[in-house]
A and B are shown apart, each in its own frame.
Chain A
Amino acid sequence: MQSESKSGAIRPDMFTPVNRDSKQSEKIERPRLTAWQDIRLRLLSNKLAMTGLWIMVVVVLFAIFAPIFSSYDHFTNDLSNTNQAPSKEHWFGTDDLGRDLFARTWKGAQVSLFVGIVAGLIDLFFGIIYGGIMGYYGGKVDEFMNRFAEILYAIPYLLVVILLLVVMEPSLTTIIVAMSITGWINMAWIVRGQMMQLKNQEYALASKALGAGSMRIIFRHLIPNAMGPILVTLTLTVPSAIFTEAFLSFLGLGVQSPVASWGTMINDGVKSMTIYPWRLLFPAFFLSLTMFAFNVFGDGLRDAFDPKLKT
C-alpha cells in the first residue's frame, strides 16, 4: 500500500524539459510552393474546371484540324445531297445547299472562337488599363474618363456597326472593330470599382509609404487582387461576344456566306428546325458546350488565383 502510493507521487525526475526552441515554434510545416505551382495545383485538383479545360482543348483542336482532315470542305455545294440526315458519309448531315455540316461546324468554330478570343484580349488590355487608371486616380481624371466611356456606351451598338458598314465591308474585321469600340467598357467599369475599393487597402498605402509610384501600385498590388472579378467578367465577355457575332451575322452584318460561324449556322437551322433538327442541333450543341466549358473553367481559375481560399 505504502509503496503503491509512493510510486503514484509526482517526482521531479519524472519530467524532462521540452526545450522549446522559439525558432522552432515559428516554423511552418506546409511545403513551400511558388505562386504558379500553387495556382496550377489548385486548378488541377478542381475536377469541374479540368473538365471545362479538356472540353475547350478538344473544341480548339477540332476547330483547327477537323477542316484540314475532313474529306469535305465548308463551301462546296452538292445539290443532289441537300438536307441529308447524319450518316456515315456526312457525320453531321448536310444543309439546304448540300454542304457538309461537319466541315461547316468546325469552320464555324474557328470564327466563333476567334471572335471570343479577340473580345477577351480587348477586354484585358483596354478595359484593365483604362479602368485601372480611372479608378486609381479618381477625381477629375475619373470624371473625364468616365464621361468618355459613358458617351461611347450610350451609342447603340447596332448603330455603331451600321455606321461602320458605311466605310467598311461586312466581314469579321468589321465585327472586331465594332467590338473594340465599345466592348471593353464593361470591364473598365468593373476594374474601376475594384480599384476604388482596393486603393485604400493598407497594403496599397504601405507601398505608397515606401515611395512606390502609381503604376507600380496599380499593376503590382491592385490588379492582381482584382483578378477574381476580372476573370469572372472575362468568362462572361467571351460567350457574349460569340453570341453578338452570331446575331450580327444573322442580320447580314457579320461573316458572309460561304464562311460559316456557329451563329449563322444556328440561324439557318432555326428556320427548318422541325423538319431537319440536326441542322440546328450540332452547332447549338457545340456552342452550348463551349460556353459551359468557358464558364466552369473561369470559375475554377478564379478560385485557383485566390490564395485565401487555400486549404
Chain B
Amino acid sequence: MSKPFIEVRGLSKFFDIGNNKILKAVNNLSFSIQKGETLGLVGESGCGKSTAGRTLIRLYEPTAGNVLVDGTDITKLSKSKLKAQRSKMQMVFQDPYASLNPRMTILDIIGEALDIHGLAGSKSERKRRVEELLELVGLNAEHASRYPHEFSGGQRQRIGITRALAVNPQFIVCDEPISALDVSIQAQIINLLIELQKKMDLTYLFVAHDLSMVKYMSDRVAVMYLGKIVEMARSEDLYANPQHPYTKALLSAIPVPDPEVEAGKERIVLKGDLPSPVNPPSGCPFRTRCPAATEKCKSDVPEFREVRPGHFASCHYA
C-alpha cells in the first residue's frame, strides 16, 4: 500500500462544558485515507462525526492527536502556515441554507476564497474564475450577481461545493452534504461529487447518516459510536459481513426496495438511547444497548483490532 494522503492518529476533541464536566465528542480516532479514495463516516446523530470532520481540518483545535495531510502535520502548524495548507483541504457543509452568508452575492462568497489565497490578480479575472467554477458545477455564469436566498437548496449546495473547489483543494470533508436536501436532489449532488472526484482527483471524507448513500459513494466505511470508530472496512465487505453488533443493527434498518424481502427481514431494534458522551459507560461504550453484552463488556474496553484482513472492529466477540 502506498503512503496514505490523509493520516489521522489518535485524534481527540473534548469540550469543557463547565462544572468539571468534559464532553468527549471525538475520542482517539485513527484512520487513513488514500489519494483519490472516499472514506464514509457514519453514525447516529450526536455520535461526534461532524465534530470529527471539523477537528480534522482544524476548524476546531484538537485536544490531542495528529493529522497528516500529504505528509504535513497540520495540528502543529502556526496560523500563517496553516492558512497556506487550508487551500489543500476544504469542507462542504451540511445546511446549504446556513452555509452561505445571506448578505453576500455569490460572486463575493466564492470570490472570498480567491481573495484569501490571492488566486485572482484583478477584478475581472476574479469574476471570470467564479463564472468558470459556477459552470463547472452546472450553474449559470449570470448567477454570480445573485444572493443565496434566490436559490433552491440543491443550487445552494452546488454553490457551497463551488466555494470549496475555488482554492483547488485535494481533500474535501463532506459534512452530511445531502441530508438537508430532497431525495431527487440528493442524487444530483452525489453524482456531481463523484464526477468532480474523477475530474480533479479529489480525496473525500464523506460524513453521513444515510447508509445506502454512503455505500454508493464510499470505497471504505467507518462506523462511529459515541466518539469512537467501532468498525471500519471496505464498503462491500462491511455491508456484506458486518462484525460489530452496532453495525449489524444499523444495516438491518436499511429498507430493501422489494416488499417481499422487506416483509421477511428481521430488524434489530436497539433498546435505549445513545448514552451521554459526558458520562460514557465503562468497558465497551456500546454495551448498554448491545443485544449480546456480557460481563466482560462491562469491565474490559474492547480493542480496535483487525478481525479479518482489512476489516477492523472493536468488539470482544467479533
Contact = CB atoms under 8 A, between A and B. Distances in A.
Contacts of B139: 26
Interface string B196-234: 000000000000000000000000000000000000000
A35 B86 CA distance: 30
Interface string A20-41: 0011001110101011000000
A11 interface: no
B203 to A, nearest CB: 16
Contacts of A34: 145
A201 B57 contact: no
A307 B103 contact: yes
B87 A27 contact: no
Nearest to A222: B101
Given A210-B113, A212-B112, A201 B98 contact: yes
Interface residues of A, number: 29
Interface string B150-162: 1100010000100
Interface in B114-128: 116-117
A6 to B, nearest CB: 39
Contacts of A27: 140, 142
B145 A225 contact: no
B167 interface: yes
Q: Is the interface of A mostly helix, strand, loop or mixed?
A: helix
A30 B150 contact: yes
A167 interface: no
Contact of A210 (B93, B116, B143): B116
B117 A209 contact: no
A28 B143 contact: yes
A219 to B, nearest CB: 12
Given A32-B146, A202-B93, A310-B149, A210 B163 contact: yes
A205 B54 contact: yes
A308 interface: yes
A203 B98 contact: yes
A244 B119 CA distance: 52
B94 interface: yes
B183 interface: no
Contacts of B90: 209-210
Contacts of B116: 210-212, 216
A46 interface: no
A35 B107 CA distance: 12
B95 interface: yes
A168 interface: no
A34 B117 CA distance: 25
A27 B141 CA distance: 10
Contacts of A32: 142, 145-146
A262 to B, nearest CB: 37
Interface string A34-65: 11000000000000000000000000000000
A221 B145 contact: no
B146 to A, nearest CB: 6
Given A26-B140, A202-B93, A209 B59 contact: yes
A147 interface: no
Interface of A: 22-23, 26-28, 30, 32, 34-35, 201-203, 205-212, 216, 220-221, 224-225, 227, 307-308, 310
5 A-B pairs closest in CB distance: A211-B86, A202-B99, A211-B83, A203-B101, A202-B93
Interface of B: 54, 57, 59, 82-84, 86-87, 89-91, 93-95, 98-105, 112-113, 116-117, 138-140, 142-143, 145-147, 149-151, 155, 160, 163, 167
8 contacts: A27-B142, A28-B143, A28-B150, A202-B99, A207-B101, A210-B116, A225-B102, A307-B103
